[in-house]
Amino acid sequence: MAYCDVTIMGGGPAGLAAALSLEACGLSVAVLERAPQPRWAEPAFDGREIALTHHSVSVLKELGAWEHIPQVAISPLREARVETGRSNHPLTFDTQGRGVDALGYLVSNHCIRRGLYLAASQRPGIRLLGGTSTQHIRRIGEDMTVVHDGGEITSRLAVGADGRFSQIRRLQRIGAVMHDFKRAMLVCRMAHDLPHHHVATQWFDEGQTIALLPVNGGASSIVLTLPVEEIERLRKLERDAFNAEIMQRVGGRLGNMRLVSTRHAYPLRGVYAHRFASPGFALIGDAAVGMHPITAHGFNLGLKGQEALAQEIQAGLARGESPGSLSVLRRFERRHRLATAPLFAATNGIATIYTRDEPAFRVLRQAGLRVADALSPFKSVVTNMLMDRDRAA
């Protein structure tokens, strides 16, 4: 049996970031990840491009992960546009008057994961256990014992960070609100002839939702949302036919397009755990809150969640409280719920309004975009939320 201060189950971005944050508090940390060590250390491209806020970039810099992300992989997001239907007035957001040249930065998920892994592998207080699955979690006195397929680890705090379909959440008998949007999204990179000018577009067209996310090298990440069977058909479609269909779906707005990556499909389900904490246990990342990607804030909220957990633990240590103390974890839970519950509800509402094609919904969203684009205070609030510069400035 091994011992450490904190055991984290799940070695994705939230789990690795939490390990780095907690190790910086002077705690010893073990991270258990089901993927084999080589695949964990060098994750493959998975199609997902992450829109990082300024605050998230600041967090990644503090954790030592940003320096491991190649500069060529960091694409500035200079403007964001929201459109509905065809030839309708767009809602636009930009950085004018804010003293910066980007709303945020697009970085491939696998690059972020690799950067966090490299940073964690260099910290003496962090043990990285790849190819390791959790079997049971037991609370004995003030300690948590995690039984895995390689032995046991006892710690003062156990953290679940294994994604929105979390096995760890189920092992702890924590339920969750599950919202199945009955859609899937296809993600891939496509090169194109016309420049994107680093403008991201979220386009709610009839029968489909498309995001065009600008990446470096004359290419864009395509995020296409459709019924599950349609996504599966497109994922398997012959390359030339796929290129032609995507060009038709985006209305030819980027000129000739060609697939330059693998294609990946993901189900669209929102998840909100009934509890984020119990004695000796906490949930972070998508295991706590799994957002619909329509507002592009899921990853950023995951980073904020682990940051809140580490800050509350650090404050508790200064008062002589254990990292697994229920009072410490309740403070984290209240803080993270306040940060996530309103956005989770609003995101699900937006996803419902903007992905239904009945005439009433089409009229509502067209009128909504026109009104919103004319309201400078509203646009300023949303822009500040997209950028999240308060603590990064």
Query: Mind listing the pLDDT tens digit for each residue in 151-190?
Result: 999 999 999 999 999 999 999 999 999 988 889 999 999 9
Q: What is the pLDDT of residue 388?
A: 75
pLDDT in tens, 299-333: 999 999 999 999 999 999 999 999 999 999 999 99
Q: What is the pLDDT of residue 213?
A: 95
Report residue 379's pLDDT band, with 50, 70 and 90 as the boundaries.
very low
The least confident of 199-203, 301-305, 366-370, 386-390 is: 366-370
Q: Which CATH architecture has domain 182-267?
A: 2-Layer Sandwich (3.30)
Q: What is the pLDDT of residue 151?
A: 94
Distance CA 45, CA 263 (A): 10
Q: What is the pLDDT of residue 377?
A: 55
Higher-scoring residue by pLDDT: 383, 153: 153
Protein fold of 2-77+103-178+270-387: FAD/NAD(P)-binding domain (3.50.50)
* Across 254-262, average pLDDT: 97
- Does residue 50 register a pLDDT over 50? yes
Q: How far is CA 202 from CA 96, 222, 246, 351, in A?
A: 20, 10, 15, 12
- Does residue 137 register a pLDDT over 60? yes
Distance CA 72, CA 41 (A): 20
Q: What is the pLDDT of residue 353?
A: 59
Higher-scoring residue by pLDDT: 141, 346: 141
pTM of the full structure: 0.90
Segments of the chain assigned to CATH 3.50.50.60 = 2-77+103-178+270-387
Q: What is the CA radius of gyration of the chain?
A: 21
Q: What is the pLDDT of residue 357?
A: 58
- Does residue 239 register a pLDDT over 70? yes
* Residue 171 near residue 136, CB atoms below 8 Å: yes
Higher-scoring residue by pLDDT: 245, 390: 245
* Across 355-368, average pLDDT: 57
Residue whose structure tokens are 């189920």: 170
Q: What is the pLDDT of residue 351?
A: 65
Higher-scoring residue by pLDDT: 250, 369: 250
Looking at every residue in the chain, the average pLDDT score rounds to: 89
The least confident of 11-15, 68-72, 198-202 is: 198-202
Segments of the chain assigned to CATH 3.30.9.10 = 182-267
* Across 283-307, average pLDDT: 89
Host H or E run for residue 281: strand 281-283
* Residue 288 near residue 276, CB atoms below 8 Å: yes
Higher-scoring residue by pLDDT: 380, 177: 177
Percentage of the chain exceeding pLDDT 70:
86
* Residue 184 near residue 47, CB atoms below 8 Å: no
* Across 265-290, average pLDDT: 95
Q: What is the pLDDT of residue 7?
A: 98
Report residue 392's pLDDT band, with 50, 70 and 90 as the boundaries.
very low
pLDDT in tens, 88-129: 677 788 887 666 889 999 999 999 999 999 999 999 999 999
* Closest CA relative to residue 271, chosen from 135, 170, 388: 170
